[in-house]
Amino acid sequence: MTVVTANKLLGDPVDRVDGPLKVTGAAPYPSDVTYPGLVHAVLVQSTIAAGTIRSIDAADAEAAPGVLAVITHENAPALAEGPMTPLLGPAPPSPLKDNRILHHGQHVAIVVAETLEQATAAARLVRIDYEETAPVLGIDNPEAAVLRNPWGLETQRGDAAAALASAEVVYDETFAIAAGTNNPLGLFATVARWEGDRLIVHESTQWPTMARQTLATVFNVPENDVQVLVPYLGGGFGAGLRTWPHAILTALAARLVDRPVKLVLTRPQMFTSVGHRAETTQRLRLGATRAGRLVAIDHVGTSTLGAEAANMEFISIETGAAYACPNVATHDRQVRLNIPSPGWMRGPGSEGNFAIESALDELSYTLGIDPLELRLRNYAEVHPQSGLPWSSKALRECYRVGAERFGWTRRTPEIGSMREGNWLVGYGMAGVTFGGAQLPCQVRVSIRRDGSAHVRSAATDIGTGTYTVATQLAAELLGLDIGQVRVEIGDSDLAPAPPSGGSSLATSLGGAIRDAAGNLLRAFLNVLAEDHRSPLQGRRRDDVTAADGRIHLVDDPSVGETYSDILARHELDELAADGEINPQADGAGMAPSGPFAARFAEVRIDAELGLLRVARIVSAVDAGRILNEKLARSQIIGATVMGIGMTMLEETIFDPGSGRIANATFGDYLIPVNADVPDLDVVFVGEPDRFSPIGSKGLGEVGIVGVSAAIANAVYHATGRRIRSLPITIDQLL
Amino acid sequence: MTRIITLRVNGKSYENEVSPRLLLVHYLRDVLGLTGTHIACDTSQCGACTVMFNGESVKSCTMLAVQADGGEVKTVEGLATNGKLHPLQQGFWEKHGLQCGFCTPGMLMSSLNLLQRNPDPTPDEIRHALEGNLCRCTGYQNIVAAVQWAAQEMKAKPAAGVAE
Ligand code: FES
Ligand code: FES
């Protein structure tokens, strides 16, 4: 087993650098921001799911104490639509366009008052007369418009239909997963302020560069005149990947009342305003030989979509990559309904994993082959679609190490055979092949005369540990102590960066920091090019390296000098260099890998009550080089618990008649609490990835993938009940 | 209509004129500027707003500021003494009991309440005592470890964890 560690700082379990700020309550989140003269906004949301507004009577609200404005579609200026967003597609439609209602909870007015209490009270006085029409609801509603292959991401190879028709064994089942809501703990907030034509927004976003672009487009101002700030964020899980209508409304309100305006969403509004994991259904057909070789996969994934919004959903995106199977067809369908727009929620594509990994488990019983062995028989040694070698893949090692730690060999194959008294015990497992992209990213790194370094980029830390990892990397690459590096992120004025999302940021930013550090050493050597007093004069980048605050020759560490000495002698306060990555997979001669994992779960079910308990989960993860073991492990544990929520608790319920979300509070929408959490074991295996400049692969999402299938497969092993719909509830087990 | 309230927060006395409908959490955050106490729900279910009131942990979103009149409040900002982190704060940092940190202040105050009643809790006791504090990031495992770490530390150096 190779546990990935690296030279010096990388891989060290460095304590997070933002720890002290966060344990003292001093980390400023967007909702903490205030300004002199700041006023408060409250949203008014539609109470019907479809129809039009006949009239709005805002007179009482406008006359209420402290009220500064009631903005509706009747008095709002026309706003442009947001731009096409890289990675995610069209921006959410701009608000208050007209009198049409497309979903329950649509923002129909924003009320601004001196105090939050005044705005809240006045919002209740806005009277709206609706003309209601029958909403289109329900994923299988025949009246709903269906989009086919909306993103051009379907996979075709070989002839899946023919191979299915002639396969020795055929599997054909359907799966259903309830809608879920991201629910970061931090309520999303926007504080907007205009200085003339310049807009400053403190915004709950995972992507300041995108938020700036969106606001600039919507308000028709130059991008340089918009600044988006988010030094700290109370979690995101995908909800902060778009600039949603409430943020636009807050900026609009600030412009109209000419005061700084703060809007904090309520918890129910977090269900209707910032996306959610779409409800999905899947039909999965497999063809296999009696010896357990897959010969065909046909996978249809259907997800819900808002009436007019776009959401890049790809349930079956990994289906073609996960196993060596010659004939594969995947199909993406989106169904337009009168619901708030879905969006990404941690690990989009995990739905497809649930189906494939459940199906393989079923096949293992049909064929009498151990579930783990079945996966190994179909192991994709190269990328099955392109035929290219993976840039890294240690899934086999994940299986081996995970199985060992879990004690998979103790499993007796017969259903119900591991019963302990009243407890039905089951073991289940799942394999995980997940995507993860490196995205274009820029950064500026500088060193000051006091020897300290400064790293600046418009990236964010949504809790994942960007500050810490960036600090470690810069320290390592520039030969400095952790304490000498300051990282400044969460500000759209800095060098453009990709989102904290899609498991992309640490690797992308890390690659850019590496580039910048190299450029910075070059910049120092340039300064010394004509400097006869320097032992490094005339040296090239490849001749030198950095350690202990100095640049020295690779061959002879005694020949060199400190950054401080160089800067002082040349009377420079600071030397800076930019860095970037622009990953190009085409022509790289390899298939860029995302992370891989194997999950093993033990469940216990009370034979009489149907009560389901997850006793333990072992996760073996290949995420390439691990930059910080402590942070990485925490990502996997946290995501695993979110996966337990998805599997056993979480369900956003749309009332089938009204389209209203029936459980939009923490009392009714259950997320795992402390006492729900079992014994969780995490182990990292694998080697640095060849396509990633720093060897890492994203690990923010992989931890949620495979949890559902591992648990459902264990439930089957314990009880003989095959559950193909999530969440698994007690009534399915009685 | 407003009311005058006087109370002590983190050892300092305050007197303010407040609206009777003002929640304690908004008083702390908006009037006193103590934004370490967070709000994450509207139904008293998340625990992010937990503070100590007269020595007991309370959810400050379920109390009006006027109800705190004459009382003593301690928030996360009052947990460290003279710039030295409380063992619980140290534990959450060292044991990585946080990611985004939004739940952390409430989690710390509930943990403080637990350790005052039970200085040596088992992992199970910690899990149940902190059941009312939601965390969406960490998966809780490191939070349990952090509280255990702090309990050990406070046993070893009793003075370290004295909450006035
Ligand atoms: S804010 Fe959620 S319990 Fe007080
Ligand atoms: S650390 Fe983010 S909610 Fe707990």
Instruction: Using pLDDT thresholds of 50, 70 and 90, give the confidence band for residue B160.
Output: low
How do residues A100-142 score in pLDDT, each as one tens digit?
Answer: 999 999 999 999 999 999 999 999 999 999 999 999 999 999 9
Q: For A638, which of B21, B134, B138 is closest by C-beta distance? A: B138
pLDDT at B74 over 90: yes
pLDDT reported for residue A2: 36
A8 domain-assigned: no
Average pLDDT over residues A663-674: 97
Percentage helix, strand, coil, to 5, in chain A? 25, 25, 45
pLDDT reported for residue A670: 97
Average pLDDT over residues A295-307: 98
Q: Which chain A residues are within 8 Å of B61, Cβ to Cβ?
A: none
* Start-end of H helices in A245-309: 245-257, 267-272
- Residue-range domain boundaries for chain B: 3-78, 87-160
What is the rounded distance in angstroms from the CA atom of residue A719 to the CA atom of residue B60? 45
Q: Are strands A485-488 and A39-45 parallel, antiparallel or unpaired?
A: unpaired
Question: What's the Cα-to-Cα distance from A340 to each of A59, A101, A179, A659, rounded to whole Å?
Answer: 28, 11, 11, 9
A628 shares a domain with A571:
no
Question: What's the Cα-to-Cα distance from A566 to each of A454, A477, A571, A577, A726, rounded to whole Å?
Answer: 17, 18, 8, 16, 62
| β-strand partners of A71 | A110
What is the rounded distance in angstroms from the CA atom of residue A687 to the CA atom of residue A394? 8
What is the rounded distance in angstroms from the CA atom of residue B143 to the CA atom of residue B150? 11
A13 domain-assigned: no
Taking CA A433 as the corner, what is the angle to CA A427 and CA A437, rounded to the nearest 5 degrees? Answer: 145
CA of B142 to the centre of ligand 1 (A): 22
Kindly state the tokens that stand for A651.
Answer: 């369900």
B102 lines ligand 2 (CB under 6 A): yes
Kindly state the tokens that stand for A621.
Answer: 């993860």
Q: Let me know: does A357 contact A299? Beta carbons within 8 Å.
A: no
CATH number at residue A698: 3.30.365.10
Q: B3-78 architecture in CATH?
A: Roll (3.10)
A448 shares a domain with A413:
no
B100 lines ligand 2 (CB under 6 A): yes
Pick the CATH number of B87-160 from 3.40.1410.10, 1.10.1660.10, 1.10.150.120, 3.40.50.1220: 1.10.150.120
A222 shares a domain with A87:
yes
pLDDT at B133 over 80: yes
How do residues A501-513 score in pLDDT, each as one tens digit?
Answer: 888 899 999 999 9
Asked which of A557, A581, A605 is the last residue of a domain, the reply is A581
pLDDT reported for residue A14: 84
A155 domain-assigned: no
CA of B134 to the centre of ligand 1 (A): 10
pLDDT reported for residue A87: 86
pLDDT reported for residue A587: 86
What is the rounded distance in angstroms from the CA atom of residue A145 to the CA atom of residue A24? 51
How do residues A669-680 score in pLDDT, each as one tens digit?
Answer: 999 999 999 989
What is the rounded distance in angstroms from the CA atom of residue A715 to the CA atom of residue A605? 8
A411 domain-assigned: yes
Q: Which chain B residues are within 8 Å of A233, Cβ to Cβ?
A: 100
Taking CA A187 as the corner, what is the angle to CA A183 and CA A191, rounded to the nearest 5 degrees? Answer: 145
Q: Coil, strand or helix: which one is A442?
A: strand
Question: What's the Cα-to-Cα distance from A301 to each of A88, A305, A315, A550, rounded to whole Å?
Answer: 18, 13, 6, 56
A299 shares a domain with A208:
no
**Which phi and psi (to 5°) does residue A212 adopt?**
-65, -45
Average pLDDT over residues A449-466: 97
Give how many domains chain A has, as a whole number. 3
Closest CA to A536 of A518, A522, A520, A519: A522
pLDDT at A296 over 50: yes
Closest CA to A328 of A156, A140, A583: A156
Closest CA to B30 of A31, A482, A684, A413: A31
A194 shares a domain with A118:
yes
A504 shares a domain with A452:
yes
Q: Are strands A328-336 and A294-305 parallel, antiparallel or unpaired?
A: parallel
Establish if B102 touches chain A: CB-CB under 8 angstroms: yes
**Which phi and psi (to 5°) does residue A216 adopt?**
-65, -40
Instruction: Using pLDDT thresholds of 50, 70 and 90, give the confidence band for residue A9.
Output: very low
**Which phi and psi (to 5°) does residue B63 adopt?**
-125, 145
pLDDT reported for residue A684: 97
pLDDT at A732 over 50: yes
Amino acid at A20: P
Q: Let me know: does A99 contact A52? Beta carbons within 8 Å.
A: yes
pLDDT reported for residue B162: 52
Question: What's the Cα-to-Cα distance from A1 to each of A83, A199, A378, A397, A426, rounded to whole Å?
Answer: 47, 53, 22, 7, 27
A261 shares a domain with A206:
yes
Name A627's Cβ contacts closer than 8 Å, sequence gap at least 6: A10, A11, A469, A472, A473, A506, A510, A694, A696
Name A677's Cβ contacts closer than 8 Å, sequence gap at least 6: A641, A644, B127, B139, B140, B141
A363 domain-assigned: yes
A564 shares a domain with A611:
no
pLDDT reported for residue B136: 98
pLDDT reported for residue A7: 47
pLDDT at A343 over 90: yes
Contact A666 B26 (CB under 8 A): no
Among protein residues, the one with the nearest Cα to ligand 1's atom 1 is B39
> Residues 68-87, chain B: which have Cβ within 8 Å of A?
75-77, 79-80, 85
What is the rounded distance in angstroms from the CA atom of residue A3 to the CA atom of residue A182? 32
What is the rounded distance in angstroms from the CA atom of residue A680 to the CA atom of residue A703? 11
Closest CA to A364 of A397, A420, A411: A411
A456 shares a domain with A433:
no
A429 domain-assigned: yes
pLDDT at A25 over 90: yes
Taking CA B51 as the corner, what is the angle to CA B50 and CA B53, rounded to the nearest 5 degrees? Answer: 130
Say which of A313, A397, A651, A701 is annotated catalytic: A701
Q: Which chain B residues are within 8 Å of A267, Cβ to Cβ?
A: 40-43, 46
How do residues A480-501 score in pLDDT, each as one tens digit?
Answer: 999 999 999 999 999 999 999 8
pLDDT at B161 over 70: no
Say which range, A3-17, A263-277, B93-107, has the weakest mean pLDDT. Answer: A3-17
Average pLDDT, chain A: 96
Q: Which domain holds residue A92?
A: 33-134+185-235+240-273
Reply yes or no on whether A701 is catalytic.
yes
Which of B17, B96, B133, B143 to mutate: most A Cβ within 10 Å?
A: B96
Q: For B137, which of A31, A117, A463 is closest by C-beta distance? A: A463
Closest CA to B95 of B160, B156, B154, B145: B145
Percent of chain A exceeding pLDDT 90 equals 95
pLDDT at A285 over 90: yes
A464 shares a domain with A537:
yes
| β-strand partners of A433 | A596
Residues in the ligand 1 pocket, defined by CB under 6 Å: B 39-41, 44-49, 59, 61
